[in-house]
Amino acid sequence: MSSNARRPTPWRARAYARALVEELRPDTIEERFATAEQARRVWIEDDVDGMARLGVIDGAVKIRAMFDRLTRQARAVRDAARDAAASPDTAVTDTRTLDQTRADLLCDLVLAGQPAVDPTGELLPGGLGAIRAHVAVTVPVRTAAGLDERGALADGQSPIDAATASRLMAGAPDWDRVLTHPVTATVLEVDRYRPTPALRRRLAARDMRCRFPGCRQPAHRCQVDHNRNHAKGGRTSLGNLAHLCLRHHTLKTETPWTAEQRPDGSLLWTSPLGRTVTDHPETTVAFIPDPDPPPF
C-alpha cells in the first residue's frame, strides 16, 4: 500500500484515490472531458420555506475559480465591515456569515452584474471588481512538456484534462517546479519558473538592456530568458537569467546560437560557426570607502 493512501484526513485520502482512479482508467481524461463538457448546464430545485437551490455543472477549473473569487470577495467585505465596526461613527454592522455573504454576492453578480454595495472601495484599489480568482494547478512534468496526456489536478483535488492545464500554464502569471520522491511523493525541491519581483528588479538593474552583443533594446521591453533551459534543470536565479529582446530570444531558442553565463554576469555567445563574443553587464557605480578619515 502506498504511503499516500494512509493520510490522516479523509479528504486527502479521497483526493489521492480519485487521482489514482484517473490514472488507471483505460480511456483518457481528455476523451471523457470532451464528452462531459457537452452536459454543462444550470438548473433550479425548489426547497422549503420559500427557498430554492441553483445548481451549475461545468469544468472543474471554472467552478473552483468562481467559488474562490466569491470567497475572496466575501472575506474582503467582512474585513471592511470589521474595520467599520471599530469606528465610533458606524451605526450599522454586518452580521452575515461567510456563506451568507457569498450567496448575496453571487445573486448580485448574476442579477445586477456587480455587487449592490461595495464597502471595500476605500480599502482596495478597484474594489471588489478588482479581485480575481486563484486556482492552483498541479501538472506532471511530462504533461507540461507535451509528452504525456496524464491529467492534472486543480487545487490538488479535481482532475482536469491536459489541454486545459496547458492553456492555464500559458497564461499563468507564475508557476513552480516541484520535485517529488518517486515512491513516497515527498516534496524534495520547489523551484519557481518565473522570477519574483525582487529578482526582476535586480536583474533589470544589472542588465539594463538586451544582453545580445550590440543590442540596445531596454530591459523593460525585453523578455527574461533562462540561459540554461528550466525544463533541463536551469534554475530561476540571477546567475541563470538575462534579458533578451524578442528577436534575440528567438535567435537563442530556435537557432544554433548559444549563450553561457559566467559568474560575473557576462554572457559568452557562440555563433553557429563557432565564433565567440562576450557581452558584459552595464557598468555599475561602486562606492569605495575612503581610507583617510574626515577632517572633523
94 plus 231 within the same structural domain: no
27 plus 92 within the same structural domain: no
Averaged pLDDT score across all residues of the chain: 79
Model pLDDT, residue 286 = 44
80 plus 124 within the same structural domain: yes
3-state SS, residue 201: helix
Query: Is residue 277 pLDDT above 60, yes or no?
Result: yes
Q: How confident is the model at residue 79 (pLDDT cuts 50, 70, 90)?
A: confident
Q: Of 5-9, 223-227, 233-237, which range is least confident?
A: 5-9
Percentage, residues of the chain above pLDDT 70: 76
145 plus 257 within the same structural domain: no
Is 267 domain-assigned? yes
Domain-ending residue, one of 192, 214, 232: 192
Q: Which of 83, 84, 100 is nearest to 92 (CA)?
A: 84
DSSP 290: P
Write the pLDDT tens digit of every residue in 162-221: 888 888 877 776 666 666 656 655 555 556 667 777 788 888 888 888 999 988 888 888
> In this predicted model, which residue has the larger pLDDT, 104 or 14?
104
108 plus 179 within the same structural domain: no
Is 64 domain-assigned? yes
Query: Is residue 84 pLDDT above 80, yes or no?
Result: no
pTM above 0.75, yes or no: no
Model pLDDT, residue 15 = 63
At residue 57, what are phi and psi to the nearest 5 degrees? -125, 130
Q: Which of 278, 280, 202, 267 is nearest to 237 (CA)?
A: 202
31 plus 146 within the same structural domain: yes
Is 209 domain-assigned? yes
Is 7 domain-assigned? yes
114 plus 250 within the same structural domain: no
239 plus 210 within the same structural domain: yes
Is 149 domain-assigned? yes
Model pLDDT, residue 34 = 85
Q: Which three cell numbers stand for residue 19?
A: 487521482
74 plus 120 within the same structural domain: yes
87 plus 230 within the same structural domain: no
Model pLDDT, residue 155 = 74
256 plus 231 within the same structural domain: yes
Is 253 domain-assigned? yes
DSSP 219: G
Domain count, the chain: 3
Q: How confident is the model at residue 260 (pLDDT cuts 50, 70, 90)?
A: very high
Model pLDDT, residue 105 = 94
Domain-ending residue, one of 171, 192, 213: 192
Phi-psi region of 112 (alpha: psi -120 to 50; beta: other; left: phi over 0): alpha
The boundaries of the domain holding residue 250 are 197-279
Phi-psi region of 71 (alpha: psi -120 to 50; beta: other; left: phi over 0): alpha
Model pLDDT, residue 220 = 82
140 plus 29 within the same structural domain: yes
Model pLDDT, residue 4 = 46
Model pLDDT, residue 114 = 83
